[in-house]
Amino acid sequence: MSSEKPQAVLREDYCPPDYWIDSADLSFDLGEEETQVRARLEIFRREDLIGDSPPLILVGEELECLEVRLDGEVLPAHRYRVADDELRIDSPPERFQLETRVRIKPHENTALSGLYRTSGNFCTQCEAMGFRRITYFLDRPDVMARFSTTITADKASCPVMLSNGNRVEAEDLGGGRHRVRWEDPFPKPSYLFALVAGDLRAHRGSFKTSGGREVALEIWVEPQNIDKCEHALASLQRAMAWDERVFGLEYDLDIYMIVAVNDFNMGAMENKGLNVFNSKYVLALPSTATDADYEGIERVIGHEYFHNWTGNRVTCRDWFQLTLKEGLTVFRDQQFGADMSSAAVTRIEDVKILRAAQFAEDSGPMSHPIRPDSYISMDNFYTSTVYNKGAEVIRMYHTLLGAEGFRRGMDLYFERHDGAAVTCDDFRDAMATAGERDLSQFGRWYSQAGTPLVEAEGSFDSEAGCYSLTLKQSFPEPDQSATREIPRQALHIPVAMGLLNSSGEDLTVRLEGESAPGETQTRVLELTQSQQTFIFTGLSQAPIPSLLRGFSAPVRFKMERSREELAFLMGRDSDSFSRWDAGQQLALDLLLDLAKTSARGEAMALDPLYAEAFGRILADPSLDGSLKALALTLPSEKVLGQEMEVVDPDALFAAREFMRKALAQTHCDALREIYSRGVERAIDENEQDAIHQRRLKNCALAYWMTLGGEDALEAAATQLERAENMTDTEAALVVLADTVSEARDRGLSDCYDRWSEDPLLLDKWFAIQAGSRRPDTFERVLELADHPAFSLKNPNRMRSLVGTFCSANPVHFNRADGAGYRFLADMVIQLDSMNPQAAARMVSIFNPWRRFDSGRKALLKQEIERVGGQHGLSKDVFEIVTRALADQSD
Ligand code: BES
Ligand code: ZN
């Protein structure tokens, strides 16, 4: 990076390019020491510029330019200029062929963007701006070209050579070299280009589309992993069938390939016809992957597949529109997940992620609208806001328009924009037109940052038989993203709700102004003003409102309620999400009280109301094991911290540990009973039931372990020894890792021996220790950072230790002496020189620093400043650190 201050790119500065690229014919000569790339580009000037001849400016990074030809003739040096990461040609003709040859060094590429090496193989990652590290190009998503790719390499080290589209030629060149040619018939932006070459095996399958086309499916992995692909293949087949059934969308090429690689910054990438995946989202056997891993694989495979229509066929005009493809595709993978397993469990888990990650992001220095207004490094904006809040915004269209209206909107979106690069406004317009709705106010969801607060207040008039519900919306936190002072305006918020009678039954009620009661028990109120009152008529007794059912909008929701009322809803609400949420709200109130008690040094006590409700959940036959486990799990310290004026990690830890233990004491027999029943019934059931069983059983084990008895310890040790699946193995090792015991030492060392050949299992081994509650965890983490199997170069390994400790172990990371903060800063500084994208993600862990007490704040600030003062800092880390330190009006 140069020493100049990195510049921000603004959304309002968007201009179409002066030139377009029709086709890109690429030729790669792959070698051990270097790779040469020849690009033949058919370029033409923008129609409305005819007469005028602006310079052609192609971007390129870390390229050594060897030759430039224009229409076949070598360009003399004075006709072009290579400088500042660009290739510039003054006054080129209206239409011409440009040919460049560059040299690149994949083996030196530790940033994992562009062409790099992983486990000896070649692999590319081009989103968002990695293609410019391969060749000079108009590397922006609105430039869509037809690509063809020729690859030449050694037969011995690269028997397999893949790229987008169809393989049209293969040739043996003699001398140990060979060549293939791939052609992609669909125009695409450069970020969807991919090339993979190396020693790989394919697990093959096929899919017959509803239109009758046979599609070849290939999952490419290192030879030793060939037996771990069945679940990925089956997930892909389910995703293909689901997208046909629910959205009428068929796959469009004759082949779909997925490659699993060990070194990858993200989860996976939707390159046209050739997805590249982090191996953790492909490889699975019951003995190596947990139920959660299996589910993750299905979701990510679905997600990348769904991008073929929402992202690839219709793509983004510019990177500020990222949520157009990501928010929509996350929504699609959420719906897919809900249809494949349990809708209620899926919804609860998706909301947990939103609240833990996105709400936190939105109340800190990285707060931004789902369609950001500026960036320094686009890679920093693949955020929970763009993804998860973006998916909630799509869900709100679905709620407002209904499933059928939403489907009509999607159909119209594809009808209008197939093959084009478009904006979020284009999507909203398709929804408005097809749904015959005015969605102009809804557009504010795209431009306003921050989590809205919705407050509800109800009152019952027994004489009139009327219940009136007043809803208010506001933004209590200052707008951290605003460069200009524009006050945020009221949003269009769908509030799904129902009213219950005193025995917990749903009432069908009439809203004032309606001629008949609503047909469904859940109805959607539309809150469009800062304050609105809704009146329900014809009631004989005071109802109990159930609000924001299914989490119908990404808002914080507050209502003054008694603990009795929350306990009532926790046991009775017909909406599974709201039932779970009432329990979480109740636990949260109690835990925050307990934390205060603990901070004062006073004795804590368990609220009998919650203890009783907990017992009823344990015994409730209507709940499946997964829903039970979710209801029995207390809110995380991260979520609790968001509700405190000043976060007190020690008090939160103490309160949560106290409550877990007190609940276990109260329900000791029931928990033990659930555990032994789970052990007995582990095998002979269908897959979903077995998953529910394991989840509940392992939840019971974790509670039981808090009591510190020998019996629980022995049960965990036995489970670790006998487990036949990774779900049980991991659950046992996790609870043992919290203990100071011989069983823990033995368990960890046995697992190391068994797992040391499998990188994904070693990741688990590191993560389990980094997440431990044991008092000496930090010292252990320092040791592990020096372990021969640890490496900062591999993102999965780095995240398993540094990421887990610093973001999933708040009590230890936030040690009062600041040693945890120093550790993170040290890691970020080392990592930044190799992999800026990954370093920027890690340094973001510091973002909530202003929410801590003055002692911790000072220590945090010092470490953030130390990172920021590093010589040669990447623009990625620079952007995060600058925002974190920016002055605030508080
Ligand atoms: N397009 C992204 C992958 C990506 C993001 C590559 C940023 C490069 C930079 C892909 O579709 C994606 O969103 N992947 C997610 C997983 C998904 C299930 C949300 C990821 O990688 O985390
Ligand atoms: Zn995506």
Q: Which atom of ligand 1 is nearest to the CA of 382?
A: 7
Q: How far is the CA of 237 from the centre of ligand 2 (A)?
A: 19
Q: What are the distances in angstroms from CA 264 to CA 369, 395, 829?
A: 27, 30, 20
Q: How is residue 737 written in tokens?
A: 């890792």
pLDDT band at 890 (very low <50, low <70, confident <90, very high): very low
pLDDT band at 709 (very low <50, low <70, confident <90, very high): very high
Starting from the CA of residue 235, give the closest ligand: 1
Q: Which is more confident, 484 or 784? A: 784
- Residue with CA at minimum distance from ligand 1 atom 16: 267
The DSSP annotation for 463-530 comes to: TTTEEEEEEEEE--S--TT-SS--PPPPP-EEEEEEEE-TTSPEEP-EETT-SS--SSSSEEEEE-SS
Dist. CA 373–CA 446, nearest whole Å: 10
349 given a catalytic annotation: no
How large is the average pLDDT for residues 747-756? 98
- Residue with CA at minimum distance from ligand 1 atom 22: 267
Reduce the DSSP state of residue 223 to 3 states and report it.
helix
Q: How is residue 224 written in tokens?
A: 């030793």
Dist. CA 37–CA 35, nearest whole Å: 7
Q: How far is the CA of 323 from the centre of ligand 2 (A)?
A: 9
How large is the average pLDDT for residues 114-128? 99
Helices (H), 316-443: 322-340, 343-353, 359-362, 384, 390-417, 424-435
Farthest-apart Cα atoms in the chain, separation: 95
Dist. CA 327–CA 683, nearest whole Å: 38
- Burial class of 573 by CB neighbour count within 10 A (0 to 12, 13 to 18, 19+): buried
Q: How does pLDDT run across 573-584, given as a tens digit for each residue?
A: 999 999 999 999
The DSSP annotation for 241-294 comes to: HHHHHHH-----SSEEEEEEES--SSSEE--TTEEEEEGGGT---TTT--HHHH
Dist. CA 420–CA 143, nearest whole Å: 10
Q: Which atom of ligand 1 is nearest to the CA of 267?
A: 21
Which of 190, 266, 876 maximizes ligand 1 atoms within 8 Å of its Cβ, making it the mutation to test the pocket? 266
Number of Cα atoms under 13 Å in the Cβ half of residue 418: 10
Q: How far is the CA of 325 from the centre of ligand 2 (A)?
A: 7
> Residues with Cβ within 6 A of ligand 1?
127-128, 266-270, 299-300, 303-304, 307, 326, 330, 333, 382, 387
Q: Which atom of ligand 1 is nearest to the CA of 333?
A: 18
Starting from the CA of residue 265, give the closest ligand: 1
- Residue with CA at minimum distance from ligand 1 atom 20: 267
Q: How far is the CA of 327 from the centre of ligand 2 (A)?
A: 8
For residue 252, what pLDDT is reported? 98
pLDDT band at 3 (very low <50, low <70, confident <90, very high): low
**Tokens 């529910």 identify what position?**
692
Q: Which atom of ligand 1 is nearest to the CA of 270?
A: 11
- Burial class of 625 by CB neighbour count within 10 A (0 to 12, 13 to 18, 19+): buried
SS3 content of the chain, % helix, strand, coil (to 5): 45, 20, 35
Q: How far is the CA of 307 from the centre of ligand 2 (A)?
A: 7
Q: How far is the CA of 270 from the centre of ligand 1 (A)?
A: 8
Percentage with pLDDT > 90 across the chain = 95
- Residue with CA at minimum distance from ligand 1 atom 4: 269
Which of 192, 236, 264, 269 maximizes ligand 1 atoms within 8 Å of its Cβ, making it the mutation to test the pocket? 269
Which of 235, 382, 388 maximizes ligand 1 atoms within 8 Å of its Cβ, making it the mutation to test the pocket? 382
Q: How far is the CA of 267 from the centre of ligand 1 (A)?
A: 6
How large is the average pLDDT for residues 16-28? 98
CB 94 within 8 A of CB 50: yes
- Residue with CA at minimum distance from ligand 1 atom 9: 127
Q: Which atom of ligand 1 is nearest to the CA of 307?
A: 11
Q: Which atom of ligand 1 is nearest to the CA of 304?
A: 11
How large is the average pLDDT for residues 391-413? 99
**Tokens 């478009």 identify what position?**
422
pLDDT band at 680 (very low <50, low <70, confident <90, very high): confident
Given 99, 222, 270, 304, the catalytic residue: 304
Q: How does pLDDT run across 313-368, given as a tens digit for each residue?
A: 999 999 999 999 999 999 999 999 999 999 999 999 999 999 999 999 999 999 99
**Tokens 């109120």 identify what position?**
525
Q: By C-alpha distance, which of 143, 130, 333, 324 is closest to 243?
A: 333
- Whether the CA torsion 153, 154, 155, 158 is positive or negative: it is negative
Q: How does pLDDT run across 781-821, given as a tens digit for each residue?
A: 999 999 999 999 999 999 999 999 999 999 999 999 999 99
Q: Quote the pTM value.
A: 0.98
Dist. CA 843–CA 245, nearest whole Å: 42
How large is the average pLDDT for residues 240-251? 99
Q: How does pLDDT run across 41-67, given as a tens digit for each residue?
A: 999 999 999 788 999 999 999 999 999
Starting from the CA of residue 334, give the closest ligand: 1
Q: How far is the CA of 304 from the centre of ligand 1 (A)?
A: 8
The DSSP annotation for 17-59 comes to: -SEEEEEEEEEEEE-SS-EEEEEEEEEEE-GGGTT--PPEEEE
Q: How is residue 196 written in tokens?
A: 């993979």
Starting from the CA of residue 377, give the closest ligand: 1
Q: What are the distances in angstroms from CA 842 to CA 153, 380, 764, 823, 874?
A: 36, 11, 19, 12, 13
- Residue with CA at minimum distance from ligand 1 atom 13: 326
Q: How does pLDDT run across 860-879, given as a tens digit for each residue?
A: 999 999 999 999 999 999 99
Q: How far is the CA of 305 from the centre of ligand 2 (A)?
A: 9
Q: What angle do CA 287, 291, 297 make, to 5 degrees?
A: 95
CB 407 within 8 A of CB 413: no
Q: What are the distances in angstroms from CA 29 to CA 33, 165, 481?
A: 11, 19, 46
Percentage with pLDDT > 70 across the chain = 99
Which residues, listed in sequence order, are joined to residue 470 by a DSSP beta bridge? 457, 533
For residue 164, give the amino acid letter: N
How large is the average pLDDT for residues 632-660? 98
CB 53 within 8 A of CB 177: no
For residue 483, what pLDDT is reported? 61
Radius of gyration of the chain (CA): 28
Write the CB contacts of 771 (distance below 8 Å, at least 6 apart in sequence).
Answer: 734, 737, 804, 805, 808, 809
- Residue with CA at minimum distance from ligand 1 atom 19: 330
How large is the average pLDDT for residues 876-886? 98
**Tokens 């039954």 identify what position?**
505
- Residue with CA at minimum distance from ligand 1 atom 18: 300
Out of 88-97, 149-158, 506-515, pick the least confident. 506-515
Cβ of 726: how many Cβ atoms within 10 Å?
23
Is a pLDDT exceeding 70 seen at residue 682? Answer: no
Dist. CA 409–CA 423, nearest whole Å: 15
Which residues, listed in sequence order, are joined to residue 25 by a DSSP beta bridge? 40, 148
Q: How far is the CA of 385 from the centre of ligand 1 (A)?
A: 13
Cβ of 74: how many Cβ atoms within 10 Å?
11
pLDDT band at 487 (very low <50, low <70, confident <90, very high): confident
- Burial class of 587 by CB neighbour count within 10 A (0 to 12, 13 to 18, 19+): buried
Average pLDDT value over all residues in the chain: 97
Starting from the CA of residue 302, give the closest ligand: 1
The DSSP output letter for 141 is T
Which residues, listed in sequence order, are joined to residue 83 by a DSSP beta bridge? 86
How large is the average pLDDT for residues 36-41? 99
* Chain-centroid distance, C-alpha 774: 29
- Residue with CA at minimum distance from ligand 1 atom 10: 269
Q: How is residue 503 written in tokens?
A: 């025995």
Q: Which atom of ligand 1 is nearest to the CA of 268?
A: 21
- Whether the CA torsion 132, 136, 138, 143 is positive or negative: it is negative
Q: How many residues does the chain have?
A: 890
pLDDT band at 889 (very low <50, low <70, confident <90, very high): very low
Q: How far is the CA of 330 from the centre of ligand 2 (A)?
A: 7
For residue 54, give the amino acid letter: P
Backbone angles phi, psi at 269, to 5 degrees: -140, 135
Q: Which atom of ligand 1 is nearest to the CA of 303?
A: 18
Starting from the CA of residue 326, give the closest ligand: 2
Q: How far is the CA of 39 from the centre of ligand 2 (A)?
A: 28
- Residue with CA at minimum distance from ligand 1 atom 15: 267
Is a pLDDT exceeding 60 seen at residue 2? Answer: no
For residue 214, what pLDDT is reported? 98
Reduce the DSSP state of residue 371 to 3 states and report it.
coil
How large is the average pLDDT for residues 596-625? 97
How large is the average pLDDT for residues 487-501? 97
Q: How far is the CA of 23 from the centre of ligand 2 (A)?
A: 25
CB 190 within 8 A of CB 298: no
The DSSP output letter for 634 is P
Q: Which atom of ligand 1 is nearest to the CA of 266?
A: 21
* Chain-centroid distance, C-alpha 274: 21
- Burial class of 110 by CB neighbour count within 10 A (0 to 12, 13 to 18, 19+): middle
Q: How is residue 240 written in tokens?
A: 């293909």
Which of 297, 304, 328 maximizes ligand 1 atoms within 8 Å of its Cβ, making it the mutation to test the pocket? 304
Please state whether 193 falls in left (phi above 0), alpha (psi between -120 and 50) or beta: beta
Write the CB contacts of 759 (distance below 8 Å, at least 6 apart in sequence).
Answer: 262, 279, 794, 796, 797
- Residue with CA at minimum distance from ligand 1 atom 3: 269
Starting from the CA of residue 328, give the closest ligand: 2
Write the CB contacts of 305 (distance below 8 Å, at least 6 apart in sequence).
Answer: 236, 239, 240, 243, 256, 270, 275
